[in-house]
């Protein structure tokens, strides 16, 4: 089955710094989502981005489907950005495959 790899596994930033999270996938996908899991455990939708580039405030994402990767950019990081970021892909069926996540800690 399709493999989803996220890097880095852990990231510590000083407040105000920028960062790039990466998601590689091993096969063609119909969709790709980025989620932020907050400290209380809820998964928050960030982007639905099977291809192209989207921006939402300090966050943006780019998926290059032909090269099988997606990037999540966080600019001017804040302590509230802390948590785990998941990439999840779907190849057309009901099943969604999640990466292992990137754990981000932003220091004040």
By CB under 8 A, residue 7 contacts other proteins: no
CA pair distance 43, 108, nearest whole angstrom: 23
How far is it, in rounded angstroms, from Cα 49 to Cα 62?
Answer: 7
Which of positions 81-100 make contact with other proteins (CB under 8 A)?
A: 86, 88, 90, 92, 94-96, 98-100
Its sign, for the CA torsion 12, 63, 53, 31, is: negative
Within residues 44-73, the interface with other proteins by CB under 8 A covers 44-45, 48, 50
Q: Which residues bind other proteins (CB under 8 A)?
A: 30-31, 33, 35, 40-45, 48, 50, 86, 88, 90, 92, 94-96, 98-101
């Amino acid at each position: 089955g399709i493999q989803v790899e996220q890097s880095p596994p852990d990231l510590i930033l000083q407040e105000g710094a920028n960062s790039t999270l990466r998601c590689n996938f091993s096969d063609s996908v119909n969709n790709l989502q980025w989620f932020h899991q907050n400290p209380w455990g809820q998964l928050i939708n960030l982007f639905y981005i099977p291809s192209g580039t989207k921006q939402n405030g300090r966050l943006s994402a780019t998926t290059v489907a032909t090269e099988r990767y997606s990037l999540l950019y966080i600019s001017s990081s804040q302590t509230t950005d802390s948590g785990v970021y998941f990439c999840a892909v779907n190849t057309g069926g009901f099943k969604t495959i999640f990466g292992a996540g990137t754990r981000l800690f932003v220091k004040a």
